[in-house]
DNA sequence: ATTGTGTTGTTACAACATTACACCCAGGAT
DNA sequence: ATCCTGGGTGTAATGTTGTAACAACACAAT
């Protein structure tokens, strides 16, 4: 299996500083989920997850289809099927603001309110759970009698690295 | 994309309780913006905005193209151009979770953090600004040195009316 | 009149996502 | 062994969302 390639060093700073996601950990979570559902963790699912974990940055489904190492060129629909499983398993999230998918090695609690912070420069995503945000949402909902079920919070901005690099 | 049954709703009960948006108020805001930018508030822009305000609920660009009363059938690209203007004017928001657009008659302050609450049943959207959410986001960002610029917060759930009406 | 700026009409295309169906294959029941 | 069944896979077709490019037009300023 692959250890994550290590960062720091080689590449020019576009390709590099996305991420990092522990590929083994996230894969084992996916396997557990597969077992719990009585379905197989197939090579298809494995390769898509491995690619996302290795890249550490959001990729579109078509980009995944092109780059899966697996020799065979995947059709979009196959990628979407794998992504569906991986999202259910909690190993992959979808970024609505970019129609892109990325691997996640956090273990999110049931009602946890998670914030995705997406760097406009390099595309890297950081996640943070925030109870304060959750309270804010509950408060906002209460004023109108709205029953919140599934929040989606994506913040565009600049990651620490890119903010430190004056850009251009 | 999520194919909820009936995402943007054409079903029986919704001509009623989606919304309401004050069409005149929102149009006059659009006109002011147009003046301030030295560009015209054209019939094209007017019809798109009027349709969204009247409907009071999010519609896809293609749905707008079909339904604009203006006799002429609009092409998607024309709708997108109108929407671009209207979004800049602050009269229309885009709902990323549904790829849909809706009219807004609030006057949002510059740094205001707005929460969109989208009813999964009827598709209606309510907005609320929350300083508590804003603080939560700043807190989440600080832990990683992220510089937040443009938050996008969309909560799926049930509006008060639909929650009171268990289903049909 | 000429130029400049911005809108419109139109075509074409790119990017994202789903439906449908045939096939395969492993596990369990007959 | 044979059949049935439930998921996964391969493939094609299509649906949905969004842009690029360009010619034609309107209007205002010079
Ligand atoms: Zn996560
Ligand atoms: Zn960055
Ligand atoms: Zn608004
Ligand atoms: Zn509702």
Tens-place pLDDT, residues B105-124: 999 998 899 999 999 999 99
| More confident position, A88 or B167 | A88
Distance A111 CA to ligand 4 centre (A): 22
Q: Which of A118, A103, A123, A106 is nearest to A152 (CA)?
A: A118
* CA distances in angstroms from B28 to B33, B41, B49, B57, B92, listed in the order given: 9, 10, 11, 20, 13
Distance B123 CA to ligand 4 centre (A): 6
Query: Which ranges of chain B would DSSP assign to H, the alpha helix?
Result: 14-17, 23-37, 43-55, 61-67, 76-88, 131-142, 160-164
What residue has its CA nearest to the C1' of D17?
A: B99
Q: In Å, how far is B87's CA from the nearest CA of chain A?
A: 16
Per-residue pLDDT at B4: 43
Question: What nucleotides of chain C have any atom within 7 angstroms of a protein Cβ?
Answer: 6-12, 15-20
Strand C-contacting residues in B 81-140, CB cut-off 7 angstroms: 81-82, 85
Residue B17 scores a pLDDT above 70:
no
Domains located in chain B, CATH noted: 23-103 (1.10.10.10), 114-164 (3.30.1490.190)
Per-residue pLDDT at A5: 42
Residue A34 scores a pLDDT above 50:
yes
Which residue in A has a C-alpha nearest to residue B97's C-alpha?
A96
Please, which pLDDT band fits residue A11 given cuts at 50, 70 and 90?
Answer: very low
**A88 part of contact set with chain B, CB < 8 Å:** no
Q: In Å, how far is B147's CA from the nearest CA of chain A?
A: 5
Residue B7 scores a pLDDT above 80:
no
pTM of the model: 0.88
Which ligand ends up closest to the CA of B86? 3
Q: What share of chain A is helix, strand, coil (3-state, %, to 5)?
A: 40, 20, 40
What residue has its CA nearest to the C1' of C6?
A: B39
If you average pLDDT over every residue of chain B, what do you get? 88
Per-residue pLDDT at A72: 79
The string of pLDDT tens digits covering residues A45-100 is 999 999 999 999 999 999 999 999 877 789 999 999 999 999 999 999 999 999 99
Residue B67 scores a pLDDT above 90:
yes
Strand D-contacting residues in B 117-146, CB cut-off 7 angstroms: none
**B120 part of contact set with chain A, CB < 8 Å:** yes
How far from chain centre, in Å, is Cα B10? 17
Question: What nucleotides of chain D have any atom within 7 angstroms of a protein Cβ?
Answer: 7-13, 16-21
Residue A42 scores a pLDDT above 90:
yes
The string of pLDDT tens digits covering residues A110-124 is 889 999 999 999 999
Per-residue pLDDT at A13: 40
* Cβ <8 Å between B115 and A137: yes
**B137 part of contact set with chain A, CB < 8 Å:** yes
Distance B124 CA to ligand 4 centre (A): 6
Task: Tell me what percent of the residues of chain A surpass a pLDDT of 70.
Answer: 86
Asked if strand D contacts A92 at the CB level, meaning under 7 A, the answer is no
Question: Residue B88 burial by CB count (10 A; 0-12/13-18/19+): exposed, middle or buried?
Answer: middle
Per-residue pLDDT at A69: 80
What mean pLDDT is predicted for residues B46-56? 96
What mean pLDDT is predicted for residues B46-75? 93
| More confident position, B154 or B71 | B154
What mean pLDDT is predicted for residues B75-102? 98
What mean pLDDT is predicted for residues A135-147? 96
DSSP-assigned states of every residue in B12-48: TTHHHHS----HHHHHHHHHHHHHHHT----HHHHHH
Q: Which of A69, A63, A113, A97 is nearest to A83 (CA)?
A: A63
> Torsion angle, CA of B136/B139/B144/B148, rounded to 10 degrees?
70
CA distance A142 to A151: 15
Which region among A11-15, A64-68, A74-78, B40-44 has the lowest average model confidence (pLDDT)?
Answer: A11-15
* Cβ <8 Å between A149 and B159: no
Q: Which of A45, A122, A134 is nearest to A91 (CA)?
A: A45
Please, which pLDDT band fits residue B65 given cuts at 50, 70 and 90?
Answer: very high
DSSP-derived 3-state class of residue A141:
helix
């Amino acid at each position: 299996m692959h250890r994550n390639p290590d960062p720091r060093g080689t590449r020019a700073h576009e390709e590099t500083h996305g991420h990092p996601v522990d590929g083994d950990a996230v894969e084992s979570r996916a396997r557990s989920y597969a077992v719990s559902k009585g379905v197989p963790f197939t090579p298809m699912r494995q390769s898509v997850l491995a690619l996302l974990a290795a890249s550490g940055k959001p990729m579109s489904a078509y980009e995944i289809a092109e780059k899966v190492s697996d020799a065979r060129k995947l059709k979009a629909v196959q990628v979407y099927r794998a992504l569906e499983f991986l999202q259910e398993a909690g190993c992959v999230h979808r970024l609505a603001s970019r129609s892109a998918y990325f691997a996640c090695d956090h273990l999110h609690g049931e009602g946890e309110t998670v914030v995705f912070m997406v760097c406009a420069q390099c595309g890297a995503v950081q996640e943070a759970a925030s109870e304060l945000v959750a309270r804010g949402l509950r408060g906002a909902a209460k004023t109108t009698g709205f029953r919140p079920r599934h929040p989606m919070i994506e913040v565009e901005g600049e990651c620490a690295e890119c903010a430190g690099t004056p850009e251009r």
